[in-house]
Structure 1
Amino acid sequence: MLINRMMVFGGCVAGLLASAPLMAADPAPFELAGPSLKVRVTRGAQSLPIAQVPSLSEGDRLTVEADLQGDQGAHFILVSAFLRGATNPPPRDWVSFAETWKKKGKALDLTVPRGARQMVLFLVPDTGGAEGALSGAVRGKPGEFVRATQDLNQASLDRSRLDAFMGAIRAQENSHPEYLRTLAPVLARSLSMKLNEECLSKVIEMQASCLLENRDSLLLSDVHTSSMAETLTGAPTDLALQLSATREAGYGYYSAYIAVVRDVARIFGAFSNPEFGYLPTLSVRKGDGIGLLLNSAPSFQKPKSVMVVSMPAIEADSPPRLRSGARGPICVVRPGAVLPVEGAPLIYSTSYARSMTLAVQSASGETVEWPVEARADRGGYVLAGATAWPAGFRGTAQGHLYGHWGFDRFEGPDFTLQLPDDRSWQVDGDATALVVGRDNVVRLKGGTPACVERVTVRQGDGAPAPVQWTVEGQDGLALTLPLADRKAGMLNIEISYQGVPQPMTIPLRSYAQASRLDGLQIHAGDRMALLSGQRLDQVESVEVAGLLLRPDGLTREGAVDRLRLVAQGDGAAMTQGREATARVRLRDGRKVGLDVTVAPPRPQVGLLSKDISPGPSPANGKMLVLNGNNLLPDNGQIVFSIRAGAGTTLEGTDVIEVAPADDGAAIRLTAANGLRLEGPQVMVARLDPKVMAPSLFGPLRFRLLRVGAASDWQPLVTLARLPQIDAVACEGKAQGCMIKGRDLFLIDAVGTTPTLDQAVQVAHGYTGSALTIPAPRDGTLYLRLRDAPDSVVTLPAA
Structure 2
Amino acid sequence: MVYMRRSLLFLITVSFCLTSSLLCAEAPPFDLSGPKVEVHVKRGDLTLPVSEVPNLLPGDRLWVHPDLPESQATHFVLVVAFLRGSTNPPPPGWFARVETWTRQAHDEGIFVTVPAEAQQALLFLAPETGGDFNTLRKAVQDEPGSFVRAAQDLQAASWERMRLENYLSDVKITSQFDPAALKVRAEMAARSLGIKINENCFAKPYDQQASCLSQNSEGMVLDDANAQSLLNQLTTRSALDLVNALSSTTMAGGGAYSPYIGAIVDTARILSSLHTAHFQYIPALALPKTDSLNLRLNMPPSFRNPKSVVVVALPPIGESRPEPLHPVDPEANFCALKPRIVLPAEGAPLIFATEMAHDLYLQVEISGDQKAAAINVPLMADPSRGGLVATQPIPKLPTGELVGVVRGKWGFEDWEGPQYRLFSPAPEMWTLPPADQTALVVGRDDILHFEGQSSVCVDKVEAQTSGSSMTAADWKSLKLGTLDVTVPLKNASPGPVTVAIYQYGLLKPDHVALEAYDAEASLAGLTLSSGDKSALLEGTRLDEVAKAKVDGITFTPSTLKRAENLDQLVMNAEKSTASLEPLKSYIAQVELKDARTLKAPVTVEPPRPRITLLSKGVQQESSAADQPVQLGSPDDLPIDGRLVFFLRSVVPEAFPRDEKIEVASNDLSFHTTLALTDGSLMLENSDTAEASLEPITRFGSSAFGPVRVRAIASDGAAGDWVPLGTFVRLPGFKELRCPRSLSRPCMLSGSDLFLAESFAASPSFDNPTDVPPAFTGMQLIVPHPVNGVLYLKLRDDPATVQSVTLPVIPVALPASEAPKPHPAVPAAPVEPPATSPSETSPSETPAPGTAEPSSPATPQAAPQAIPPAEANPTGKAAASPSGLSAPAGSAATAGQGEASQGAKAQSPAPAPN
Would you say same fold, with TM above 0.5?
A: yes
CA deviations 1:224-256 (Å, max 9, x no partner) are 54899xxxxxxxxxxxxxx99986556899535
Distance 1:135 1:557, change over 3 A: farther
CA deviations 1:437-483 (Å, max 9, x no partner) are 43222133458755544322222332333211234666653211122
The one of 341, 344, 357 equivalent to 1:353 is: 357
Contact 1:423–1:447 (8 Å) recurs in 2: no
Aligned to 1:386: 393
Partners of 2:667 and 2:13 in 1: how far apart? 96
Contact 1:492–1:508 (8 Å) recurs in 2: yes
Partners of 1:342 and 1:175 in 2: how far apart? 26
Partners of 2:312 and 2:672 in 1: how far apart? 102
The one of 271, 283, 288 equivalent to 1:285 is: 288
Aligned to 2:520: 513
Aligned to 1:711: 719
The one of 295, 298, 304 equivalent to 1:295 is: 298
Q: Using the TM superposition, name which of 93-102 and 677-686 deviates more.
A: 677-686
Distance 1:155 1:658, change over 3 A: farther
Aligned to 2:66: 67
Aligned-partner SS, 1:494? strand
The one of 471, 477, 483 equivalent to 2:489 is: 483
Supply the AA of the counterpart residue of 1:48. Answer: L
Partners of 2:363 and 2:716 in 1: how far apart? 69
Aligned-partner SS, 1:329? strand
Distance 1:32 1:213, change over 3 A: same
Distance 1:565 1:410, change over 3 A: same
The runs of 5 or more residues in structure 1 that have no matched partner are 1-11, 229-242, 611-627, 632-639, 688-697, 719-750, 759-772, 779-788, 792-798
Aligned to 1:28: 28
1:318 and 2:322 matched:
yes
User: 1:282 Cα deviation (Å)?
Assistant: 1.0
Aligned to 2:441: 435
Q: Which has the larger radius of gyration?
A: 2
Aligned to 1:755: 755
Aligned to 1:259: 261
Partners of 2:229 and 2:668 in 1: how far apart? 77
The one of 407, 410, 428 equivalent to 2:412 is: 407
Aligned-partner SS, 2:393? coil
Contact 2:77–2:125 (8 Å) recurs in 1: yes
Partners of 1:91 and 1:453 in 2: how far apart? 64
Aligned to 1:157: 159
Partners of 2:439 and 2:95 in 1: how far apart? 83
Contact 2:359–2:408 (8 Å) recurs in 1: yes
- Return the structure number with greater relative CO, CA threshold 8 A, min gap 6: 1
Aligned-partner SS, 1:426? coil
Q: Using the TM superposition, name which of 19-28 and 442-451 deviates more.
A: 19-28
User: 1:411 Cα deviation (Å)?
Assistant: 1.9
Aligned-partner SS, 1:285? coil
User: 1:560 Cα deviation (Å)?
Assistant: 6.8
Distance 1:416 1:671, change over 3 A: farther
Distance 1:271 1:629, change over 3 A: farther
Distance 1:315 1:426, change over 3 A: same
Matches within 5 A, 1:482-501: 482-497=488-503
User: 1:157 Cα deviation (Å)?
Assistant: 1.6
Aligned to 1:52: 52
1:80 and 2:58 matched:
no
User: 1:521 Cα deviation (Å)?
Assistant: 3.6
Contact 1:264–1:280 (8 Å) recurs in 2: no
1:369 and 2:368 matched:
no
Q: Using the TM superposition, name which of 360-369 and 276-285 deviates more.
A: 360-369
Aligned residues: 667
Supply the AA of the counterpart residue of 1:90. Answer: N
User: 1:184 Cα deviation (Å)?
Assistant: 4.7
CA deviations 1:132-174 (Å, max 9, x no partner) are 33322224x58xx53x444432321222233333444555677
Supply the AA of the counterpart residue of 1:73. Answer: T
Aligned to 2:98: 100
Distance 1:700 1:151, change over 3 A: farther
Distance 1:429 1:644, change over 3 A: closer
Partners of 2:687 and 2:336 in 1: how far apart? 80
CA deviations 1:314-343 (Å, max 9, x no partner) are 444133323266954325365x44444333
Aligned-partner SS, 1:35? coil
Partners of 2:265 and 2:590 in 1: how far apart? 80
Distance 1:322 1:250, change over 3 A: closer
Distance 1:352 1:473, change over 3 A: farther
1:565 and 2:552 matched:
no
Contact 1:268–1:278 (8 Å) recurs in 2: no
Distance 1:39 1:72, change over 3 A: farther
User: 1:283 Cα deviation (Å)?
Assistant: 0.9
Matches within 5 A, 1:180-191: 184-191=186-193
Q: Using the TM superposition, name which of 401-410 and 356-365 deviates more.
A: 356-365
Which of the pair is proportionally richer in strand? 1
Distance 1:224 1:534, change over 3 A: farther
Contact 1:152–1:260 (8 Å) recurs in 2: no
Aligned-partner SS, 1:435? coil
Aligned to 1:727: none
Supply the AA of the counterpart residue of 1:35. Answer: P
Aligned to 2:595: 589
Contact 1:223–1:344 (8 Å) recurs in 2: no
| % identical aligned pairs | 29
Partners of 2:183 and 2:335 in 1: how far apart? 24
Distance 1:675 1:381, change over 3 A: farther
Partners of 1:357 and 1:65 in 2: how far apart? 30
Matches within 5 A, 1:288-687: 288-301=291-304, 303-313=306-316, 314-323=318-327, 328-330=333-335, 332=337, 334=339, 336-362=340-366, 365=369, 366=372, 367-386=374-393, 389-390=395-396, 393=398, 397-417=402-422, 421-423=426-428, 425-430=430-435, 431-446=437-452, 449-471=455-477, 476-497=482-503, 503-511=509-517, 512-516=519-523, 518-519=525-526, 521=528, 523-524=530-531, 526-531=532-537, 535-542=541-548, 548-554=554-560, 563-567=569-573, 575=579, 584-591=590-597, 602-605=608-611, 644-645=649-650, 647-649=652-654
Distance 1:355 1:410, change over 3 A: same
Contact 1:516–1:533 (8 Å) recurs in 2: yes
Partners of 1:668 and 1:308 in 2: how far apart? 116
Partners of 2:692 and 2:276 in 1: how far apart? 125
Contact 2:332–2:421 (8 Å) recurs in 1: no
Distance 1:552 1:536, change over 3 A: same
Partners of 1:99 and 1:467 in 2: how far apart? 71
CA deviations 1:336-372 (Å, max 9, x no partner) are 4444433333333311111112223457743332322
Aligned-partner SS, 2:35? strand
Aligned-partner SS, 1:159? helix
TM-score (norm 1): 0.65
Aligned-partner SS, 2:139? helix
Supply the AA of the counterpart residue of 1:156. Answer: S
User: 1:295 Cα deviation (Å)?
Assistant: 0.4
Distance 1:321 1:37, change over 3 A: same
Contact 2:326–2:347 (8 Å) recurs in 1: yes
Distance 1:656 1:330, change over 3 A: farther
Aligned-partner SS, 2:322? coil
Supply the AA of the counterpart residue of 2:348. Answer: A
